[in-house]
Amino acid sequence: MLRLTIDNITVEVEEGTTILNAARKIGGKIVPPAMCYYSKLKGSGGKCRTCLVKIANTSEMDPRPIPKLVPSCSTLVQNGMVVENTISEQVLKERKAITEFLLINHPLDCPVCDQAGECDLQNLSYEHGLEETRYEEERREFAPIDIGEKIKLHMNRCILCYRCVYTAEQIINERVHGVLYRGDKAEISTFVENFVENDFSGNIIDVCPVGALTDRTFRFKSRVWFTNPMDAHRNCEKCSGKVALWMFGDDVYRVTGRKDKYNEVEEFICNECRFEKKKTSDWIIEGPRKINRTSVISQNHYEKLTKQSIINPTEGKTEQQE
């Protein structure tokens, strides 16, 4: 076991754990945001740079700071490491700058974006974004394209996290989409548009941290926060059949994987469950999903953080009462 201190909180983790996963073990406010890392996707991470943290002490053997900030999602814990995340001015400053970089080419079309309300980029900019943009030049523009019958790609909103590329590589048998071009002209592409044929292609919608990949069967139907998420399952030959249903009254508006508090699905689901089974009778409903009270999805019941939860970041804020 390795001992590691993040923001003055000490935790023991197994060898081979990354700083981000160690922070998630502690939980709460000190967890760095991650836009590209996805624990279920091998090789993901290191790209968005929002999870940069400061290493004040590399290890017990080598008690020196690392001059540059390191990505916590891909840096392994060493024994005696001391990490500074929210207590480091530098980290917060750079995170702010990176949030700004991610937003300069983002269209900020949240009012018409289906992802709004469950968007990682919204969460990130809510916490680390500037109030107004300093970017006054032209933004890059792409026309939205359909990748198959069920998935819409809005390249304008993409932050090039590569999660969908890794999904295509790892979940889907044949990878048919990747990244074309380079720099800020890079775009996600389906080399040939035959990849929707695959049974698990819909999972790229779930892994997308922004509204670049959205579900065409849910497109413009409702806002995320008007629908109720319910745990449900069915007997499925292809996947576990355990899903989250997004209900509006008695209607099933959308089916997704069950996402945890870091917005990662617990299990990947098949396209049949996701796109075809849109009737309540198709599912055995287990009950409402637990939603963070501070989330916009929690039925418009906005509640402020208690002061105590800010002072003591280790305790989950959902359990705090006014």
Q: Are 83 and 20 in contact (CB under 8 A)?
A: no
Among 159, 172, 208, 212, binds other proteins (CB under 8 A): 159
User: If binding is defined by CB under 8 A, does position 183 make contact with other proteins?
Assistant: yes
Amino acid of residue 162: Y
Q: C-beta of 25: minimal distance to other proteins in Å?
A: 22
User: If binding is defined by CB under 8 A, does position 175 make contact with other proteins?
Assistant: no
Query: Segment near other proteins (CB under 8 A), from 1-9, 67-75, 119-127, 278-286?
Result: 67-75
Calpha distance 150→251 (Å, rounded): 19
Cα four-point dihedral sign 122, 128, 131, 136: negative
User: If binding is defined by CB under 8 A, does position 51 make contact with other proteins?
Assistant: no
Q: Are 223 and 255 in contact (CB under 8 A)?
A: no
Ramachandran angles phi, psi of 122, nearest 5°: -60, -45
User: If binding is defined by CB under 8 A, does position 52 make contact with other proteins?
Assistant: yes
Pick out residues in 194-253 that bind other proteins (CB under 8 A).
Answer: none
Residues paired with residue 213 on neighbouring β-strands, in sequence order: 153
* Two tokens, residue 285: 């409903």
Tell me, residue by residue from 104 to 123, as one string, x for binding to other proteins by CB under 8 A and - for no binding. xx------------------
Among 9, 11, 27, 47, binds other proteins (CB under 8 A): 47
Residue 162 or 268 having the CB closest to other proteins: 162
Q: C-beta of 177: minimal distance to other proteins in Å?
A: 13
Q: Are 168 and 189 in contact (CB under 8 A)?
A: no
Distances (CA, A) of 194 to 17, 49, 105: 37, 32, 29
Q: C-beta of 253: minimal distance to other proteins in Å?
A: 32
Count CA atoms within 13 Å of residue 285 on its CB side. Answer: 17
Q: C-beta of 141: minimal distance to other proteins in Å?
A: 8
Ramachandran angles phi, psi of 306, nearest 5°: -75, 155
Q: C-beta of 206: minimal distance to other proteins in Å?
A: 22
84 C-beta neighbours (distance < 10 Å), count:
21
How many residues make contact with other proteins (CB under 8 A)?
Answer: 35
User: If binding is defined by CB under 8 A, does position 132 make contact with other proteins?
Assistant: no
Q: Using CB under 8 A as the criterion, which residues of the chain lie in contact with other proteins when the complex forms? A: 45-50, 52, 67-69, 71, 74, 94, 97-98, 101-102, 104-105, 134-135, 137-138, 140, 159-160, 162, 178-179, 181-186
